[in-house]
Chains A and B, each alone.
Chain A
Amino acid sequence: MDFNGFRVVWEGLTGHRGWKPLWRDPDPKPAYDIVIIGGGGGGLATAYYLATVFKEARIAVLEKGWLGGGNIGRNTTIIRSNYMLPGNQPFYEFSMKLWETLEQETNFNSMVSQRGILNLCHSDGQRDAFRRRGNAMILSGADAELLDTDAVRQMYPFLNFDNARFPIKGGLLQRRAGTARHDGVAWGYARGADRAGVDLIQNCEVTGLRIEAGAIKGVETTRGYIGAGKVGVAVAGSSSRVMQMAGLRLPIESHVLQAFVSEGLKPCIDGVITFGAGHFYVSQSDKGGLVFGGDIDGYNSYAQRGNLPVVEDVAEGAMALMPALGRARLLRSWGGLMDMSMDGSPIIDTTPVDGLYLNAGWCYGGFKATPASGYAFAHLLATGQPHPTATAYRLDRFARGLPIDEKGMGAQPNLH
């Protein structure tokens, strides 16, 4: 127990000189059994579950910047399991169950808040589709409720119910969904992994993969060569760049997604609301800022920033759904790199290189998957077999004609 009321008071009285860093800052050893590339949510969760659940030793996480500095620190913090297809929904429900015990597991306040997510529908056809999705969710063990207009009005009376183009006809509610403190998730996993003996090595960029006779031997980094029995790649938007070092081309394009936060307001939105028809979703952080976003910009990008047309599009969506938002001022906006796969679903699989494993293709939905992504990747690294909920996330599923196309858009990443 590092944090408790007595400790906070004591440190407050003694000038806060007693706090210690939450994890070590070790130099890389010459070799490890398992090297994870990428110290974000996925990489840290993988290392944590490898060390704690699968009892692996000699593990390192290599991060080119600082821990949790990528998409785990740039998302809009929503957790949910409201997918439909059989390859997806059990996995996300597994993730939801891990979220529900995450704080007890890592003993870190990740502020997991099951405040519910409401997807709005605007037509009979969309309601039918939501009913089908809700039934698929229930079949996987998740919860789902179909609300009519009056029930939505009771929850959020300030929405624009009579919009001429998109009148609100109801919604699909998942009460167990919600939000979590994204940085706290990364820090909880990082501290847990560090205490279990994992070396978290920051400012260590991988510059090459050493492959001999079709098997991985280690990684070249800016801090020297590091030998490795197995290498797991969990680098999200940079997946194509890292796997190119192994001579592999991926079914992935990197795109930019923007997010926004308003000035702090008094509590007004207690759950998460999504307005898919208008490319807009919103929740309110515990600090009071409205956190919202929309669609990806739609063109390949590694810039970690987007352009103004999407800002305008999101603002229009906001005004169409919640006219009162027009009185709030935008505090800041930012962009993150999305590893958009060809079917909008992720990849957790082995690769043609022996000992090289890939965890990628999370599109704009990786945050909610963080616990299960790490667990399933650790399962694959430790046992060589995919986790039972992640058997469909194969790298060769496109060639075999088994994509998991949740939105039915085909092989066009900017439409997912």
Chain B
Amino acid sequence: MLIPHPLLGLRDAQEFTYLGDASLMSPPPSDDPEALERHVHLRDNPAGLLRELWFHEQGDRSWLVVTRDTRTHEILGAELATDIRREGAR
């Protein structure tokens, strides 16, 4: 798989480590332990489009949010996680 890094262009997925669903970026408030537990353990696990976190560990060490089809491994786009954070979206 090649990941279209917004700054570095197409990079081999082997340079990245995988964390999972991009919703892991936005934990619920820490005073709600039940929501935190769900956040840590439960997943949508969709068969289809999934926004997910990849860390460019052997590159520029940025976190990317990659949109990928889990049925075909087709990658539809990648954004910097910091940009998404700044815009306040998930």
Residues of B contacting A184 in the complex (Cβ-Cβ under 8 angstroms) = none
CB proximity of A338 to chain B, nearest CB, Å: 12
What 0/1 pattern do residues 6 to 29 of B give for CB contact below 8 A with A? Answer: 000000011000111100000000
Residues of B contacting A398 in the complex (Cβ-Cβ under 8 angstroms) = 37, 40-41
**Does A114 have its Cβ within 8 Å of any Cβ on chain B?**
no
**Does A110 have its Cβ within 8 Å of any Cβ on chain B?**
no
- Is the Cβ of A250 less than 8 Å from the Cβ of B42? yes
Q: Give the size category of B's interface with A.
A: 20 to 34
- Give the segment of B45-53, B55-63, B77-85 that binds chain A: B45-53
Say which residue of B42, B52, B72 sits within 8 Å of A303 (CB atoms): B72
Q: How far is the CA of A249 from the CA of B42 in the complex (A)?
A: 6
**Does B87 have its Cβ within 8 Å of any Cβ on chain A?**
no
- Is the Cβ of A301 less than 8 Å from the Cβ of B43? no
- Is the Cβ of B41 less than 8 Å from the Cβ of A299? no
- Is the Cβ of B45 less than 8 Å from the Cβ of A252? yes
A-B contact count (CB 8 A): 67
Considering only CB atoms, which chain B residue lies closest to A249 in the complex?
B42
CB proximity of B65 to chain A, nearest CB, Å: 14
**Does B44 have its Cβ within 8 Å of any Cβ on chain A?**
yes
- Is the Cβ of A300 less than 8 Å from the Cβ of B72? no
- Is the Cβ of A302 less than 8 Å from the Cβ of B52? no
CB proximity of A387 to chain B, nearest CB, Å: 24
**Does B73 have its Cβ within 8 Å of any Cβ on chain A?**
yes
Residues of A contacting B41 in the complex (Cβ-Cβ under 8 angstroms) = 251, 342, 398-399, 411
Q: Given A251-B43, A254-B70, verify A399-B37 contact (CB < 8 Å).
A: yes
Considering only CB atoms, which chain A residue lies closest to B48 in the complex?
A302
**Does A414 have its Cβ within 8 Å of any Cβ on chain B?**
yes
Q: How far is the CA of A309 from the CA of B58 in the complex (A)?
A: 15
Q: How far is the CA of A411 from the CA of B73 in the complex (A)?
A: 23
**Does A241 have its Cβ within 8 Å of any Cβ on chain B?**
yes
Q: How far is the CA of A249 from the CA of B37 in the complex (A)?
A: 13
Residues of B contacting A244 in the complex (Cβ-Cβ under 8 angstroms) = 44
CB proximity of A355 to chain B, nearest CB, Å: 22
Residues of B contacting A309 in the complex (Cβ-Cβ under 8 angstroms) = 13-14
Q: How far is the CA of A238 from the CA of B46 in the complex (A)?
A: 10
What 0/1 pattern do residues 237 to 251 of A give for CB contact below 8 A with B? Answer: 010110010000111
Q: How far is the CA of A413 from the CA of B42 in the complex (A)?
A: 11
- Is the Cβ of A301 less than 8 Å from the Cβ of B73? yes
Q: How far is the CA of A302 from the CA of B19 in the complex (A)?
A: 17
- Is the Cβ of A299 less than 8 Å from the Cβ of B43? no
CB proximity of B14 to chain A, nearest CB, Å: 5
**Does B1 have its Cβ within 8 Å of any Cβ on chain A?**
yes
**Does B71 have its Cβ within 8 Å of any Cβ on chain A?**
yes
Say which residue of B1, B18, B40, B71 sits within 8 Å of A302 (CB atoms): B71
Q: How far is the CA of A307 from the CA of B14 in the complex (A)?
A: 10
CB proximity of B18 to chain A, nearest CB, Å: 5
CB proximity of B55 to chain A, nearest CB, Å: 12
Q: How far is the CA of A240 from the CA of B21 in the complex (A)?
A: 14
| Interface positions of B from 30 to 44, Cβ below 8 Å from A | 34, 37-38, 40-44
Q: How far is the CA of A342 from the CA of B42 in the complex (A)?
A: 8
Q: Given A253-B20, A300-B45, verify A411-B70 contact (CB < 8 Å).
A: no
Q: How far is the CA of A250 from the CA of B21 in the complex (A)?
A: 14
Say which residue of A238, A250, A300, A411 sits within 8 Å of B50 (CB atoms): A300
CB proximity of B1 to chain A, nearest CB, Å: 6
Residues of B contacting A249 in the complex (Cβ-Cβ under 8 angstroms) = 38, 42-45
CB proximity of B56 to chain A, nearest CB, Å: 14
Q: Jot down 25 A-B pairs with beta carbons below 8 A, ordered by A.
A: A240-B45, A249-B38, A249-B42, A249-B45, A250-B42, A252-B45, A253-B43, A253-B45, A254-B45, A299-B13, A299-B18, A300-B20, A300-B45, A301-B70, A301-B73, A302-B47, A302-B70, A303-B73, A307-B1, A307-B73, A309-B14, A342-B40, A398-B41, A399-B34, A412-B20
Please report A residues at the B interface, Cβ cutoff 8 Å: 238, 240-241, 244, 249-254, 298-303, 307, 309, 342, 398-399, 411-414
Please report B residues at the A interface, Cβ cutoff 8 Å: 1, 13-14, 18-21, 34, 37-38, 40-47, 50, 52, 68, 70-73
Given A298-B18, A399-B37, A413-B20, 12 new contacts (CB under 8 A): A241-B47, A249-B44, A251-B42, A254-B45, A300-B20, A302-B71, A303-B73, A307-B1, A307-B73, A398-B40, A411-B40, A412-B19
Enumerate the 6 nearest inter-chain pairs by beta-carbon distance, A residue then B residue, closest first. Answer: A240-B45, A302-B47, A249-B42, A398-B41, A251-B41, A299-B18
